[in-house]
């Protein structure tokens, strides 16, 4: 499994930038084909395969600890990202970027997370009750193939959305993205000592930035289905907590751009409507840029981090 993990990490580092460049050069064609629309189906298949693998290997008495640790990781990564971003907002928060329409008219997607959660449960139960030894090896290679498909679709989709003027004018979003990533990595370092999970695994879980469809399967290949499931749930919860925490904190009077750090990678799509609705168009734009930058960085950074020896 370790060899496969290293191969996947190397392929991510090479394939992702290539597919992004292709997506950028052929952006009109990629948009016309609607490549990004297929992403949700690739994710569904990946989650089912990962859950099936986990159910085959992970004992039922570990499920409680996986859920408990996922909650701890989600909360810790949110708190540390927010703690590091607040000073940035105090320094730069009064400076506004130009109002720009991002072209992203995302609506709050409440169905897909629910569908993925149902798929996760069904896959785990099926794997748990239908145990077949040789299936583990097949699932290992299947996840590898599905991950490559995922990175291909993501690369083309992101490449077709790149707008250099958007990044140039959204400097604050870039700063928030980098600082929130740093904050999440600190939570991974701290939790490594508290819950005794291997350092690279702990960093990988915390630095998933809410991108559960990438983090879960990737860590499954590297560390096994138990850690992969934990990574998936922790980042799934981070996204869901964004829907709850951002409106709540704005309502009680904390209307600060530091809140963008909570959403992580999801602030460019799934949780973007929350930022626009509760914090305004300017903050929505900053959130989009922050999520976009994280989405570009993470497929390169995460495979590298989890394979450090």
What domains can you pick out in the chain, each with its CATH number? 2-306 (1.20.1530)
pLDDT bin (cut points 50, 70, 90) of residue 8 is low
Closest to 24 (Cα-Cα) out of 156, 167, 154: 156
| Alpha carbon distance 158, 126 (integer Å) | 34
Closest to 19 (Cα-Cα) out of 109, 150, 211: 150
Mean pLDDT of the chain: 82
The confidence score (pLDDT) of residue 96 equals: 41
The confidence score (pLDDT) of residue 102 equals: 43
| Alpha carbon distance 306, 180 (integer Å) | 18
Quote the longest CA-to-CA distance of the chain. Answer: 59
Give the distance from CA 67 to its chain's centroid: 18
Tell me the CB-side half-sphere exposure of residue 40, using CA atoms within 13 A: 11
Please tell me the pTM assigned to this model.
0.78
Report whether pLDDT(89) > 80. no
| Span between the terminal Cα atoms of the chain, in Å | 15
Closest to 202 (Cα-Cα) out of 72, 12, 290: 72
| Alpha carbon distance 50, 230 (integer Å) | 11
Buried b or exposed e, range 271-305, using 16+ CB within 10 angstroms: bbbbbbebbeebbbbbbbbbbbbbbbbbbebbbeb
DSSP state, residue 267 = G
**Angle formed at CA 115 by CA 271 and CA 126, multiple of 5 degrees:** 140
| Alpha carbon distance 50, 145 (integer Å) | 12
**Angle formed at CA 19 by CA 13 and CA 23, multiple of 5 degrees:** 145
127-184 pLDDT, tens digit each: 888 776 666 677 777 877 887 887 788 788 878 877 666 556 578 889 999 999 999 9
Closest to 208 (Cα-Cα) out of 230, 241, 193: 230
199-243 pLDDT, tens digit each: 999 999 999 999 988 899 889 888 988 899 999 999 999 988 898
269-285 pLDDT, tens digit each: 778 878 887 887 778 88
The number of beta carbons lying within 10 Å of the beta carbon of residue 203 is 23
pLDDT bin (cut points 50, 70, 90) of residue 103 is very low
């Amino acid at each position: 499994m370790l060899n496969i993990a290293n191969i996947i990490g190397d392929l991510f580092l090479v394939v992702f930038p290539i597919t992004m460049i292709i997506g950028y050069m052929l952006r009109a064609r990629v948009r016309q084909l609607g490549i990004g629309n297929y992403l949700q189906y690739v994710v569904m298949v990946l989650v089912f395969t990962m859950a099936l693998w986990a159910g085959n290997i992970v004992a039922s008495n570990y499920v409680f600890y996986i859920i408990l640790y996922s909650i701890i990781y989600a909360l810790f990564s949110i708190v540390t990202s927010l703690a590091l971003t607040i000073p940035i907002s105090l320094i730069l928060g009064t400076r506004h970027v130009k109002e720009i329409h991002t072209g992203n008219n995302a609506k709050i997607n409440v169905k897909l997370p629910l569908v993925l959660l149902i798929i996760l449960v069904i896959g785990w139960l099926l794997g748990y009750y239908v145990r077949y030894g040789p299936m583990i090896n097949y699932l290992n290679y299947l996840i590898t193939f599905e991950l490559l498909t995922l990175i291909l679709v993501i690369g083309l989709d992101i490449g077709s959305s790149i707008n250099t003027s958007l990044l140039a004018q959204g400097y604050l979003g870039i700063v928030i993205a980098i600082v929130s990533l740093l904050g999440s990595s600190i939570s991974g370092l701290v939790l490594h000592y508290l819950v005794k999970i291997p350092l690279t695994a702990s960093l990988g879980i915390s630095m998933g930035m809410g991108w559960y469809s990438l983090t879960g399967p990737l860590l499954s290949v590297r560390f096994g289905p138990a850690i992969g499931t934990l990574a998936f749930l922790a980042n799934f919860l981070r996204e869901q907590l964004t829907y709850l925490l951002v409106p709540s904190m704005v309502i009680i009077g904390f209307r600060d751009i530091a809140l963008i750090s909570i959403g992580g990678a999801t602030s460019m799509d799934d949780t973007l409507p929350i930022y626009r609705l509760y914090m305004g168009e300017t903050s929505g734009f900053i959130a989009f840029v922050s999520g976009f930058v994280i989405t570009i960085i993470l497929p390169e950074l995460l495979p590298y981090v989890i394979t450090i020896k």
